[in-house]
Amino acid sequence: MALASPCLPRAGSPLVIVVHGGGASNISKDRRERVCQGVVRAATTGYCILKNGGSAVDAVEGAVVVLENDPEFNAGCGSVLNTIGDVEMDASIMDGKDLSAGAVSAVRCIANPIKLARLVMEKTSHCFLTAHGAARFAASMGIPQVSREHLVTERNLRHLEKEKKGQQKTDCEKNLGTVGAVALDSKGNVAYATSTGGTINKMIGRVGDTPCIGSGGYADNDIGAISTTGHGESILRVNLARLTLFYVEQGKTLEEAAKTALEYMKSKLSGLGGVILVNKKGDWVAKWTSTSMPWAAAKNGKLYCGIDLGDTRVTDLKVS
């Protein structure tokens, strides 16, 4: 993780970005460093967008694009496969300044669904497009299609085969992969972005929490921004993102709100998951109930990252 030349924040609101690489029941030894490097790259990319005057929306989109392009994560290239071995992806993004939002679901043959979600937010009067409608809109916006082979990895082909043979873990343990980011920019605006390939061996057309505003994420300058990950059906049932921010509105700290919401979901539904949050003061937190959650954060020239509970590395933030 040695990097070069300091990337320091400007005056004004503190610049903050936090990213996650999805909750996980297990990350193999050979993948741990690659996953850690992936979230660090995403956080560094997003932070330097902020440092160079970009908005919180720019930063979260940029960070998530890095993760969508990394085959180690369940989003974009590296998405898990549905029952017939195809990739169907979901994504959403939200600007806390005015509550504008965009989302897409069941997207195929597009490298970066988060870019399409942002176009829905900025170029249409709608919040959410799905399947064929999303594909037609993507074409009208000049987004090129990519081949199925570009998105499908050998690792996920093996995982699908194991799932069909009943060798995977239980539903609430295995379906935890999502990527996301939250950010605070120099103008005091917050934003979130979340993207996923969904759950392995899912039915064709299944849509989880990720594109659903209030479940997969939420952003409001007056409260904060949040991106969630975990068992999608559980997250949907409790509206995890908005539930967590409701606890913030009640006066809980970000840490307390995250813990309370995640424990509620676990106690009611046995649903595991994780959240990342930031508020307009620059406070942030990464919390999870799954076995682990790769995450990274950048603030005031410092880089923080970890995978397991109690495992946090702190270094000076530098970029090449």
Helices within the chain (DSSP H only): 29-51, 56-68, 113-123, 131-140, 148-151, 154-164, 171-174, 232-238, 240-249, 254-269
Identify the bridge partners of residue 113 per DSSP, sorted by sequence position: none
Q: Let me know: does 5 contact 271? Beta carbons within 8 Å.
A: no
CA dihedral for 141, 144, 148, 154, sign (positive or negative): negative
Q: Of residues 44, 178, 199, 210, which has the active-site annotation?
A: 178
289 annotated active-site: no
Q: What are phi and psi of 29, to 5 degrees?
A: -55, -40
Q: Let me know: does 308 contact 294? Beta carbons within 8 Å.
A: no
Alpha-carbon distance 208 to 106, whole Å?
Answer: 10
Q: Dihedral through CA 261, CA 262, CA 266, CA 272, nearest 10?
A: 150
Alpha-carbon distance 176 to 183, whole Å?
Answer: 22
- Active-site residues, by number, are 178
